[in-house]
Amino acid sequence: MSGLHLRAALAQRDLDVELHVAPGEVVALLGPNGSGKSTLLSLVAGLLQPDAGRITLDEDVLLDTDAGTHVPPHRRGVVLLAQQALLFPHLSAADNVAFGPRARGRGRGAARAEAVRWLDAVGADGLGARKPSELSGGQAQRVAVARALAAEPRLLLLDEPMEALDVAAAPALRQLLRTVLRTQGRSALLVTHDVLDALVLADRVVVLESGRVVESGPTRDVLSRPRSAFAARVAGLNLVAGTAVEHGLRTTDGVLVSGTVDPACVAGERAVAVFSPSAVAVHPSRPDGSPRNAVEVVVASVEPRGEQVRVRAVESGDGAGLMADVTVGAAAELELVPGARAWFAVKAAEVVVHPG
């Protein structure tokens, strides 16, 4: 058995969960407030004890309530990166990062050298001499990431690491985490409220509701075809997979989807185009005029959603499974019923292409 295996029940938090993170896998935990996401991370980190359960990481038993095993947090080989950077206030940034290597028995010089390397890797070079009180929120979070990674955890626990950052700083940290998690094949369990974090960082999504796993699967499947109420609420986005090209992506069927390309995309590598169903216009025939992404679809279903109706395309062809939100009037006028043909169009400005 390898990777993380967890089975835990904690009545006080109404939690009863089984979870697996494979070696090198990044799993995003999604769920409403109070669904138990942070509690789960605390159990893995060893900050909380379940009433009953067993947690193993690779060949090590971290917890076994039957056998009375409880490995303390600092000997679990896991690191928890919280919303707030939680750096040691009296140590410089470099000493904060060197703390992990020192704890692993590295000499002062070697630990320092590792700290410099990690600060460099997270784009915080030049900040090593500063105390945490002299860092901005974004800088402190970068240093915290460096400190977490320098500890060489077997599993990285991320509790909404982007939450405390302003909107301007979040994309840079997201990209940094992506680079680190992908290139180094790190295993991680990521708690997030943000679909984009899950999409960009995670291989798999696990949805918690009321302390139970209600859905799990590859990120794109869960986000594009959500089965749980929560996933449907947070996701419900159109996702089109393909390969990044200069101004968008190309699907495996050769269809070009134009959009704004995230700078983290590399041409020729896997990417996913994301756009909201409300950005999709529906036409009876091929729309002309401004350059748009347009595809002919066969309507699979038409479901009321408040003031609007959601039109879903059949699961085959170029526009497989795409969704469009239109007014009730438009749906009637266009005679959008299952089996009908229609054109879905979305402006390039409404499409964002992310690494996939």
Ligand X SMILES: Nc1ncnc2c1ncn2[C@@H]1O[C@H](COP(=O)(O)OP(=O)(O)OP(=O)(O)O)[C@@H](O)[C@H]1O
Q: Rounded to the nearest whole angstrom, what is the least distance from the CB of residue 36 to ligand X in the complex? A: 4
Nearer to ligand X, 192 or 293 (CB): 192
> Please, are residues 51 and 65 in contact by the beta-carbon 8 Å criterion?
yes
Torsion, Cα 174 179 182 184, to 10 degrees, reads -130
Q: What binding mask, one character per residue, do residues 18-57 give for ligand X by CB under 6 A, x or -?
A: -------------x-xxxxxxx------------------
- Does 285 interact with ligand X (rule: CB under 6 A)? no
Q: Rounded to the nearest whole angstrom, what is the least distance from the CB of residue 80 to ligand X in the complex? A: 13
- Does 192 interact with ligand X (rule: CB under 6 A)? no
Nearer to ligand X, 80 or 98 (CB): 80
Q: What binding mask, one character per residue, do residues 145-164 give for ligand X by CB under 6 A, x or -?
A: --------------------
Give whole-number Cα distances, 253 to 136, 187, 269, 318, 319, in Å. 46, 32, 15, 7, 11
* Integer Cα distance of 20 and 3 in angstroms: 7
Nearer to ligand X, 191 or 299 (CB): 191
Compute how many residues bind ligand X; rule: CB under 6 A.
Answer: 10
Nearer to ligand X, 17 or 176 (CB): 17
Q: Rounded to the nearest whole angstrom, what is the least distance from the CB of residue 53 to ligand X in the complex? A: 15
Residues 6+ apart with CB under 8 A from 141: 85, 161, 164, 165, 169, 173
- Does 13 interact with ligand X (rule: CB under 6 A)? yes
Q: Rounded to the nearest whole angstrom, what is the least distance from the CB of residue 83 to ligand X in the complex? A: 9
Give whole-number Cα distances, 70 to 44, 63, 65, 169, in Å. 11, 5, 8, 38
**Does residue 303 sit in helix, strand or coil?**
strand
Nearer to ligand X, 29 or 145 (CB): 29
Q: Rounded to 5 degrees, what are φ and ψ at 275? A: -155, 155
- Kindly list the residues in this chain that would bind ligand X in the complex (CB under 6 A): 13-14, 31, 33-39
